[in-house]
Amino acid sequence: MTHAPTLTAERTDLLSTLALHRGFLRHTVRGLSDEQAVARPTVSVLCPGGLIKHVMEMEHAWIRFVQGDDAGVGMPTTEEGMRAAQREHEQQFELLPGETLASVLARYDEVAAETERVIAAVPSLDTSYALPAAPWFEPGARWSVRRVLLHLIAETAQHAGHADIIRETIDGQKTMG
């Protein structure tokens, strides 16, 4: 008989903090139409729906990293791979044909549930993995599961702030204050 993993206080705190900031981000798009979700009312290329999509994709890539797959956080090794990765990165910040705000939010819920399952099951938050070679990582650096969670919290909080500014510009709605 196997038992479900028990969340430690630290894991609970980290996951709860991540969930809080996911909630702030999700709150910024509450009541927006798909047209408003792709609006870019500032000089930035960012839009509310694209920010949620990017944060969801980023979280998914880092949770794959925690499972031993660094493909989503590394740098391609060929020129063609770099061009494709750049296109994929840019597309993370927009809703593509066939994508709706509702579909992106549903996928974000799936990624959040996956994150919670993976973090509950990892043997230790101290387990670390080598970061792939990329200019944005220190050569030879390793990140623990704990460091990945802290990164996810910071990224989600930062982009929730971006989304809040954009939402206020769209319709005057203040979502975080």
pLDDT of residue 136: 81
pLDDT at 39 over 70: yes
Average pLDDT over the chain reads 90
pLDDT range class, residue 5, cuts 50, 70, 90: low
pLDDT range class, residue 176, cuts 50, 70, 90: low
Give the global pTM.
0.90
Domain residue ranges in the chain: 9-171
pLDDT at 76 over 90: no
pLDDT at 6 over 70: no
String of DSSP letters for 34-103: HHHHT---SSSS--HHHHHHHHHHHHHHHHHHHTT--TTTS--SSHHHHHHHHHHHHHTTSPPTT--HHH
CATH number of the domain at 9-171, please? 1.20.120.450
